Amino acid sequence: MVSGTVRAFLQGIGALIALVVLGLSPGHAQDRVIRGGAAGEFDFYVLALSWSPGFCTLEGDSKNRDQCRSGSGLGFVVHGLWPQNERGYPTECGPAGRNPSQQSMQIARQVYPEEGLARHQWRKHGVCAGSSPTDYFNDVKKARDAVVIPQQFKAVQQVQNWVPIDLERAFIAANPGLRTDMMSVACRRNELQEVRICLTKDLRSFRTCGEVDRSGCRSREITLQPVR
């Protein structure tokens, strides 16, 4: 007879093998997508702040994005405000409904680096918030205004190298109430992609988010490209 301890061990090994077969890792559990979820039914928000120079280096230049032009001066920019669950996240929650009005897009232009990104984020994530485009983009602005960008990231003029946990600590020092288990740093090819910060559904405070935290960058050191 197999003991409970051995059974649990074998189940754990089986789960890891499944992840490997699927090309996933335990730290990317937040990538579980719940397509077509009910709008408004989620647990909290994730504010994703993209490091624009890193995005441009990794893919923006090849797409000729306006935010990547010389002289843009962009550092951290809003990638999105994402409805999130304790396990996985909803996306494309039914029809996109009303297209964003010019009034709502005026709000979006205050926080997103490009209008196309704002419209994409509405279709993919905003519809899951259960609010109108105007209210959603107002919430994006509210969430962005709630986070202080550390001074050392406001005008990076040369390449910098950071340990991910130290980058998180810089954000924690600038934002009272924020902790390491309330955020994560995303990277690719050792380049900083973005910082993801978890906020309560009413956007009044930071909150813990185990899955998001565990999905963070595994690199020992990451590079911050200078602003353009």
User: Pairing between strand 76-84 and 44-51?
Assistant: antiparallel
Please check the confidence at residue 174 and state whether its pLDDT lies above 90. Answer: yes
Question: For 63, what's the count of Cα atoms within 13 Å in the CB-facing half-sphere?
Answer: 13
Query: Do 79 and 172 share a domain, yes or no?
Result: yes
On whether both 66 and 108 belong to a single domain, the answer is yes
Do 69 and 52 share a structural domain?
yes
Do 186 and 92 lie in a common domain?
A: yes
Domain around 27: 1-31
Q: Are residues 38 and 2 in the same domain?
A: no
11 & 116 share domain = no
E strand residue ranges, 99-182 = 160-162
Instruction: With residue 54 as reference, give the H or E element that holds it.
Output: helix 52-55
Asked if 62 and 137 sit in the same domain, the reply is: yes
Measured distance CA(46)–CA(84) in Å, rounded: 7
Number of domain units in the chain: 2
Residues comprising the chain, all counted: 228
- The tens digit of pLDDT for each residue in 112-149 reads 999 999 999 999 999 999 999 999 999 999 999 999 99
Higher pLDDT, 21 or 57: 57
Give the pLDDT band of residue 42 (cuts 50, 70, 90): very high
- Same domain (yes/no): 26, 57: no
Query: Any idea what DSSP says for residue 56?
Result: I
Q: What share of the chain is helix, strand, coil (3-state, %, to 5)?
A: 45, 20, 40
Q: How confident is the model at residue 97 (pLDDT cuts 50, 70, 90)?
A: low
Residues 18 and 84 in one domain: no
Give pLDDT tens digits for 54-67. Answer: 999 999 998 888 89
Give the separation between CA 132 and CA 39, rounded to whole angstroms. 11
C-alpha of 124 from chain center: 13
Q: Are residues 50 and 16 in the same domain?
A: no
CA pair distance 203, 53, nearest whole angstrom: 27
Q: Which of 105, 87, 79 is nearest to 37 (CA)?
A: 87
Distance CA 161, CA 62 (A): 24
In the chain, what percentage of residues exceed pLDDT 90?
78
By the 8 A CB rule, do 123 and 88 touch? Answer: no
